[in-house]
Amino acid sequence: MLELKNIVYQVEENGEGIGILNDVSLVIPDGKLTVITGPNGGGKSTLARIIAGVVKPTSGKIFFNGQDITDMSITDRARLGIGFAFQQPVRFKGIRVVDLIRLAKGEKKLSSSDACKYLAAVGLCAKDYINREVNSSLSGGELKRIEIATVLAKKSALSVFDEPEAGIDLWSFQNLIEVFDGMRKNIEGSSIIIISHQERILQIADEIVLVKEGKIDCQGTCDEILPKLVGTESAVKSCGVIDLWKGGDN
């Protein structure tokens, strides 16, 4: 279980402190897929980065399975079982897809068949990708899937995905939903946080947290929260080519 207590995050601008997160307290339950949603600029991604340790909060405490991890480094949190998928995946020169998956698994050597199963899980034909460099020759969608594959390979107790749909095409998006749906079905013993304001992702959530203007606006089950969000900035429909083909009007 992850617990955030009174998290405040401020940045300095023109000598003034601007609050990005203002006294956020939140409990992320085990065995659940929680989607954190809310309008742009509301502090969702900052919250994800604070959980992974990429950003240090100005004040407040973070507990993971009862342990205070507020001052713990990114590395130590990762080793404790927190995985993090970047909103904008990082590109490397010379590091191959297989290397990233091997590092994610924490093994010195990795068989190609082992690496391939993670790529297959995110809808990539493994043999085409395994030896490719994680560089700018890959498209945004491909990078995003590889990023998710690294988090899958890491097998974390808590996996955090920061706007996984950002920057990917519609076809990849459809596949992404299937990946998360599959993860949710096999969630036992772990939990997932997805930062997103896509309605399709909200639909597969167990829990939804609405973050607005740096505060928790509301939190509850999908059935409780989603109806309130539909049609707002917090639950955006993806461009609906597939639905249009079905005669839909979104």
Q: Which residues bind another protein (CB under 8 A)?
A: 52, 54, 73-75, 78-79, 83-84, 86, 89-90, 92-96, 99-100, 103-104, 106, 150, 154
Nearest distance, CB of residue 159 and another protein, angstroms: 11
Which has the closest alpha carbon to 61: 97, 94, 25? 25
Q: Give the residue with the Cβ less far from another protein, 6 or 131.
A: 131
Q: Tell me how far apart the alpha carbons of residues 140 and 246 are, in angstroms, rounded to a whole number.
A: 27
Q: Give the residue with the Cβ less far from another protein, 73 or 221.
A: 73
Tell me which amino acid residue 92 is: F
Q: Give the residue with the Cβ less far from another protein, 111 or 131.
A: 131
Which residue has tokens 């107790």? 157
Q: Give the residue with the Cβ less far from another protein, 106 or 182.
A: 106
Q: Tell me how far apart the alpha carbons of residues 23 and 20 are, in angstroms, rounded to a whole number.
A: 10
Q: What single-letter DSSP state applies at residue 213?
A: T
Nearest distance, CB of residue 95 and another protein, angstroms: 4
Q: How many residues does the chain have?
A: 250
Nearest distance, CB of residue 33 and another protein, angstroms: 20
186 Cβ contact partners less than 8 Å away, ≥ 6 residues apart? none
Nearest distance, CB of residue 222 and another protein, angstroms: 28
